[in-house]
Amino acid sequence: MSEEMTPIEEPSADERLARDLVERARSEGAQLVGPGGLLSGLTKSVLETALEVEMEDHLGYPKHAPEGRNRGNSRNGNRSKRVLTEVGEVELDVP
């Protein structure tokens, strides 16, 4: 009786990214969870990026674009906000 060979699946781009992030955190001595941990930092980055993209869509121009100067609806900085996420509290810079 012969054993069936199963093909080895290559990791997805998301899996490779996750592995790279975990390896980097370990090499820097960072924890995976908790204050200052990898998941908190990643959550902060994803949420701030989503807010920035939403702002660009709303205003119709990217940050620092010259077409946004002297318009009635323009950017006016960021404010800090603490939000409770599934990985704990995260301090965000909200545009």
pLDDT tens-place string over residues 20-32: 988 888 888 888 8
Residues 6+ apart with CB under 8 A from 92: 44, 47, 48, 51, 80, 81, 82, 83
SS3 16: helix
- Please state which of the ranges 1-10, 25-34, 46-55, 75-84 shows the lowest mean pLDDT: 1-10
Domain ranges of the chain: 31-94
- Look up residue 30 and give its amino acid: A
End-to-end CA distance of the chain: 65
The DSSP H or E segment spanning 32 is: none
SS3 70: coil
